[in-house]
Structure 1
Amino acid sequence: MSARVTLGTLAGVVGFLAFVEFTSGVLQGWYTPMLTDIARHLSIHDADVNWLEGTQLMLSALVVPALAKLGDMVGHKRILLVSTALTALASLALPFTDSFAVFLVAWALQGFYVVWLPLEIALIWSRSRRMQGRAAITARAAGLLVAALELGAISGALAGGALVDAIPLWIVLLIPALLVVVCFFVILFGVQESPEPTGGRLDTVGLVLISFALIAFTGGLSFLRLNGVGDVLPWALVALGVLLVWPFAAWELRHPDPLIDVRMFRSPALGPVFLTAGLFGVSVLGAQAPLSTFARTDPDVYGFGLGTGGFQTSLIIGVYLIAMIVGALTFPLVARRFTPRVALIGAALLVGVGFLLFLPFHTAYAQVISNMVVVGLGSGALVAALPAAAAAAAPATQTGVATGLTNSVKTVGGAIASCVFGIALFHGATGAGVAAEGTAGSFTGYLTVWIVCGVTALVAAVLLVFVPKQAFTDHSVDAVPAVV
C-alpha cells in the first residue's frame, strides 16, 4: 500500500484535527494584539502581562507530560476531549472578570490547549501503525496541522486586532471561547480513537517530583520579579528546583513504566530535538507579549515603540505567521537538497539573525515587519519539524510522551524567558531596580529581550553543528513535513 493511499485513509481524521489546530491558532493569535487593552482593563503594568503568559506556560509545562502519558495509556482522543473541555471553561471565564487574580487563574488554565498538537500527532502515528510510509504520512499530516494552526493564528490576530478597536473588550474575549466549545464537539463526533492504548498506571510519584521541581524553579523566578535579584529566597528556590530534577530522574530510571523515560534525553536522535525545542521556546513563546507591547508603545510619550493600534499590531503578527507557514512548507525542500540537520541549523540561524536585527532596526513599522519575516521563516520550520521527528524516533509505547516532551521543553524555555523578560521590562537591563516610567516597559528591557532571543537561537544552531550526524539522518528526509 502506498503512502499516498494511506494518507487518503487518514484524510478524514486529519481534516477534523486540522480544525482543532485552527482553533488552537486562534487562541494563540487572538489575544496578542489586545494585550495592552487587557492590561488597561485589569489596571496592571505592561510588564505584568508577562506574568499572564508565564503562568500559562508554567501550567502547560506541568500538565503536558501527564496528559501525553495518559494519552498513550487510555487513548489520545479521550485526553484530547478532557483538555479541550478544560480550555473551554477557562476561556469562558475570561470575558466576565476584571480581577487580575481571577483572570490570571483562568488564563493559566486555558493553557491546556498546548497538549493538542502532541496528542494529535501521536494519534495519527498510532492510527498509521500498519501503513507503509508511516513516518512520511505522520510528517505530512504534521505539516498540514501546523499550517492550519498558523492560519488560525493569522485569522485570530487579524480579527482580534480589528474587533478590539470596534466593540467592547468582553465581547471580543467571548468569541474565541465559543469557538473552543465548537471544537469540543468536532473532536467528540469527528475523531476516532487511537487503536491499542498501552494501558498501565500513571506514575504519580514521578509527576509529583517533576511538578515540585518546576514549581520551585519558576516560583523562584517569580520572586525575583517581586523581591529583586538581591534577595536570597528567589535564588534558593531556583537552586531547589534544579536539584529536584535529580531524584525525579533517579526515580524514572527505576520505574518500569515511567512518566518520562529520561533515557530519551540521551538518545542521539531525540536529545538534540529536545535541546533545540527548549532554546527555541525562549523566542517563540517568551517574546510574544514584549513584541506586542513594544509595537503599541507610543514613541511620542516614551521615546521608543511604534505607537500602533490594535489592527496595525495584528498586521505585524499576521505577516509573521504567514512567514511561519512558508518556513514550515519550505523546510522539507531544503532538507532534501542538503540534510535535515543542515536545514534545522539554517532555521535556527534565521531565528537568531531575525531577533538581532531588532537592535539596529526597530524605529519603523517596515523594519519590525522585515525582522519578523526572517524570524517567522525559521520558526515555522522548527515548529513543524520537531514533533514529527520526535514521533519517528520515539519507542513505540512513548510516542505521545516524546511529542509532548518537545512541547514541554519548549514551554519550560518559554516560561523561563517570560519571567526573565518580565523582570527586564519592569526594572530595565541596568539592574538598578528602577521601573520604567508610566505603564510602558523599559527600552533597555526590550533590548534584553531581543538579545536573549537572538543569542539562544544562535546557541541552538551551534549545538546542532556538533551533534552526531545520525541524530537526524536516522530519520529519512521524509520524516520531516513535506508539501502535500
Structure 2
Amino acid sequence: MSATRPAPTTSPVVPGLVAVVGFLVAVEVASGILQGYYTPVFSDIARHLGIRDADVNWFEAAQLVVSALVVPLLARLGDLWGHRQVLLLSTGVTALASWGVALAPGFTTFLVAWALQGFYVVWLPLEVAIIYRRTAGSGAQGRLTRRSAALLVAALELGVIAGALTSGALVTSMGVPLLLTLPAVAVSICFVVVGIGVAPTPPVATGRVDLRGFALVTLSIGLVMAGLILVRLQGPGSPLPWLVLVLGLASLWPFVRVQLRTPDPLIDVRLLATPAQWPVQLTAFLFGMSVLGAQIPLSTFARTDPAVTGYGLGASASFVSTLIGVYVVALVAGALSLPLTSRLLGTRGAMLVACLLVALGYGLFLPLHGSTAQTLLNMAIAGVGSGALVAALPAAAAAAAPPDRTGFVTGMTNTTKTIGGAIASSVFAIALAATGSIEGAEVGAAPLSGYLTVWAVCSATALVAAACLLVVPRDAFAD
C-alpha cells in the first residue's frame, strides 16, 4: 500500500528561496526583453537587411533549431555539472550573440548571431530545476515550484512589455544597429546577476554526455529543417524536399535505438514514454507552434498597410509595441492564475483549459481580423492560455520525474516547444511567401491566405494538445 502524502495547509518556509527566486526573476526580465524587443521592429530589420517580410521567419527558424539542439545538451549538463553553472554558461553565450546581432555587418553574420541567441531558451527550465531542487523535502515541492514558475513567467512577460515598448518608442529616433545594442546590454547585466546572486548548485546526476546521441539528433533535426528550406526554395512540387524530410524522420529510428541501449542517454526515451511525461512533452511541441511560430506573422500582419493590400492594421512600430503590451498583460494574467486554477481544477485540468483558450484565441482570427479591437480580443484570449502553459509545462514535467532528471525533463519541454516553433516558423514562411496581390508583392507583404493558414494551424494544434492531456493520470503532478 502506498503511503499517503501529507497535504499542508500553508506553504512551508524554505530558507533562501525568496532570494533565489528574486535573482532568477531578474534573469527572466532579461529573457523577456530578448523576446519582446525585436518584435515591433521586425519590418524595420527586414528593410535594413534588404529582405522580405516572409524571409524574416527564417531568422526565427534558425534560432529555434539551435535552441532545439542545445537545450537537451545543456539540460543534461545541468544535471551533471550543476544547474546554476550551466545557466551562467548559457547566459554568457547569449550575451555574446546579442552583441553580434547589434554589430553584424551583413545578412550572414546577423543570421549566425541571431541563431546563437537561442541559448537563452534553456534559462527557464534550468531555473525551474534550481527551484525544484531547492524545495526538496518541503512537503510542497510541486506547489512551491508552480508558484515560483508563475512568478518567473510573470517577470518574463513584464520584460517582454518593457522591451516591446522601448524598441517601439526608439525606432524612429535611432538607426537599427544602435537600436539593437540595448538587448545586448540587458543580457550582459543578467550575466553579472547570475554570477553574483545565484549560488553554485551541486550536480544531481552522474555519468557522461551522450555525444553520439547528440550527433544523431542533430542529423535528424538538420534533415527535417533542410527539407523545409528546400520546399521553400524549390516548391512543393519538387520531390527532393520530400525525400529529405522522409530521411530526417526515418533517422529518428536509429536515434531511438541508440538511446535505448545507452546507459546515460542524451534523451531518456523510456522516461519520456511514461504516461505522465509524453503528453506534457507533446503538448509543449504543439504549443510551440503558436507561442513561438506565430510571433513574427502577427507582427508583420499588424504592420501591413490595408490601403495597399486590403488587409492588415497599418500599424506603426510604436503601436505594434502597444499591441504586444496588451498581449503580454494577458500572458502575465494567465501565468499568475496558474496556482489558483491548479488548486481548483488540478494541474492537468488547468493545462487543459489553457490549451482550449489558445485554440479559441487563434481560431477567432479566421473570421475576426479586420480591426484593432478584434485583434486585441483574439490575442488576449490566446495570451491567457499561453501564459498558463509557459509556467505549467516545466513544473508539471519536473513533478513527474525522478529527482536526478529534473533538469532533463524541464529542458525537454523547451526542446520540444522550440522544435515545434522551428517547424511552424518554416511552414509559416512557406505559406507567407506565396504571391499575393501585385501591390502587396511590390512592398514585400505576404498574402492574406498565408496569415489564415498560420492562425488555422495554431488553433488546430492547440486542440490536439488538449486532447493529449486527457490521457494524463489525474494525480500525476501532485506533491
Smaller-chain TM-score bracket? over 0.9
Task: Report whether the alignment pairs 1:68 with 2:70.
Answer: no
The corresponding residue for 2:459 is 454
Distance (whole Å) between structure 2 residues aligned to residue 460 and residue 243 of structure 1: 24
Residue deviations 1:415-458 (CA, integer Å, cap 9, x gap):
0000000000001599xxxx944311111111110111111111
Of residues 303, 309, 316, the one that matches 1:309 is: 316
Distance (whole Å) between structure 1 residues aligned to residue 177 and residue 265 of structure 2: 43
Do 1:97 and 1:103's aligned partners in 2 also have CA atoms closer than 8 Å?
yes
Q: CA RMSD in A?
A: 1.8
Q: How far off is 1:69 after superposition?
A: 0.2
Do 2:40 and 2:167's aligned partners in 1 also have CA atoms closer than 8 Å?
yes
Task: Report whether the alignment pairs 1:297 with 2:304.
Answer: yes
403-412 or 262-271: which moved more? 262-271
The corresponding residue for 1:44 is 51
Distance (whole Å) between structure 2 residues aligned to residue 218 and residue 373 of structure 1: 31
The corresponding residue for 1:334 is 341
Task: Report whether the alignment pairs 1:191 with 2:198.
Answer: yes
Distance (whole Å) between structure 2 residues aligned to residue 280 and residue 436 of structure 1: 31
Do 1:279 and 1:413's aligned partners in 2 also have CA atoms closer than 8 Å?
yes
Distance (whole Å) between structure 2 residues aligned to residue 334 and residue 398 of structure 1: 27
Do 2:32 and 2:159's aligned partners in 1 also have CA atoms closer than 8 Å?
yes
Of residues 409, 412, 416, the one that matches 2:419 is: 412
Task: Report whether the alignment pairs 1:230 with 2:237.
Answer: yes
The corresponding residue for 1:30 is 37
List aligned pairs for 1:270-419, cutoff 5 A. Answer: 270-419=277-426
List aligned pairs for 1:198-209, cutoff 5 A. Answer: 198-209=205-216
The corresponding residue for 2:189 is 182
List aligned pairs for 1:96-115, cutoff 5 A. Answer: 96-115=103-122
Do 2:348 and 2:469's aligned partners in 1 also have CA atoms closer than 8 Å?
yes
The corresponding residue for 2:4 is none
Distance (whole Å) between structure 1 residues aligned to residue 236 and residue 203 of structure 2: 51
Residue deviations 1:319-367 (CA, integer Å, cap 9, x gap):
1111011111223322322333222221111111111111111111111
The percentage of counterpart residues that share the same residue type is 53
The corresponding residue for 1:171 is 178
Q: How far off is 1:21 after superposition?
A: 0.7
Q: Which amino acid aligns with 1:438?
A: V
Q: How far off is 1:5 after superposition?
A: 4.5
Q: How far off is 1:116 after superposition?
A: 0.5
Distance (whole Å) between structure 1 residues aligned to residue 164 and residue 79 of structure 2: 33
Q: Would you identify which runs of 4 or more consecutive aligned residues in structure 1 move more than 6 Å? A: none
Do 2:150 and 2:338's aligned partners in 1 also have CA atoms closer than 8 Å?
no
SS, match of residue 473 in structure 1: coil
Residue deviations 1:126-153 (CA, integer Å, cap 9, x gap):
2222333222222211111111111111
Do 1:49 and 1:289's aligned partners in 2 also have CA atoms closer than 8 Å?
yes
Do 2:12 and 2:138's aligned partners in 1 also have CA atoms closer than 8 Å?
no
Do 2:12 and 2:140's aligned partners in 1 also have CA atoms closer than 8 Å?
no
Distance (whole Å) between structure 1 residues aligned to residue 458 and residue 18 of structure 2: 37
Return closer, same or farther for 1:107/1:224 CA change in 2, 3 Å cut-off. same
Do 1:429 and 1:448's aligned partners in 2 also have CA atoms closer than 8 Å?
no
The corresponding residue for 2:96 is 89
Do 1:428 and 1:443's aligned partners in 2 also have CA atoms closer than 8 Å?
no
Of residues 447, 457, 464, the one that matches 1:442 is: 447
Do 1:69 and 1:400's aligned partners in 2 also have CA atoms closer than 8 Å?
yes
Q: How far off is 1:8 after superposition?
A: 5.1
Q: Which amino acid aligns with 2:477?
A: H
Distance (whole Å) between structure 2 residues aligned to residue 352 and residue 29 of structure 1: 22
Return closer, same or farther for 1:408/1:69 CA change in 2, 3 Å cut-off. same
Q: How far off is 1:228 after superposition?
A: 0.9
Return closer, same or farther for 1:407/1:82 CA change in 2, 3 Å cut-off. same
Give the TM-score normalised by structure 2. Answer: 0.95
SS, match of residue 365 in structure 2: coil
Q: How far off is 1:67 after superposition?
A: 0.4
Q: Which amino acid aligns with 2:454?
A: V
Give the TM-score normalised by structure 1. Answer: 0.94
Q: Which amino acid aligns with 2:429?
A: G
The corresponding residue for 1:259 is 266
Do 1:425 and 1:436's aligned partners in 2 also have CA atoms closer than 8 Å?
no
The corresponding residue for 1:464 is 469
Q: How far off is 1:98 after superposition?
A: 4.5
Residue deviations 1:348-389 (CA, integer Å, cap 9, x gap):
111111111111111111111111000001101111100000
The corresponding residue for 2:26 is 19
Of residues 102, 127, 130, the one that matches 2:137 is: 130
The corresponding residue for 1:482 is none
Of residues 222, 226, 238, the one that matches 1:219 is: 226
Distance (whole Å) between structure 1 residues aligned to residue 445 and residue 19 of structure 2: 47
Task: Report whether the alignment pairs 1:474 with 2:476.
Answer: yes
Return closer, same or farther for 1:249/1:429 CA change in 2, 3 Å cut-off. farther
SS, match of residue 366 in structure 1: helix
Distance (whole Å) between structure 2 residues aligned to residue 72 and residue 194 of structure 1: 10
159-168 or 295-304: which moved more? 159-168
Distance (whole Å) between structure 2 residues aligned to residue 133 and residue 5 of structure 1: 7
Do 1:3 and 1:134's aligned partners in 2 also have CA atoms closer than 8 Å?
no
Q: Which amino acid aligns with 2:204?
A: P
Task: Report whether the alignment pairs 1:160 with 2:167.
Answer: yes
SS, match of residue 150 in structure 2: helix
Distance (whole Å) between structure 2 residues aligned to residue 5 and residue 185 of structure 1: 30
SS, match of residue 59 in structure 1: helix
Do 1:220 and 1:237's aligned partners in 2 also have CA atoms closer than 8 Å?
yes
Unaligned runs of 5+ in 1: 480-484
Q: How many residues align?
A: 471
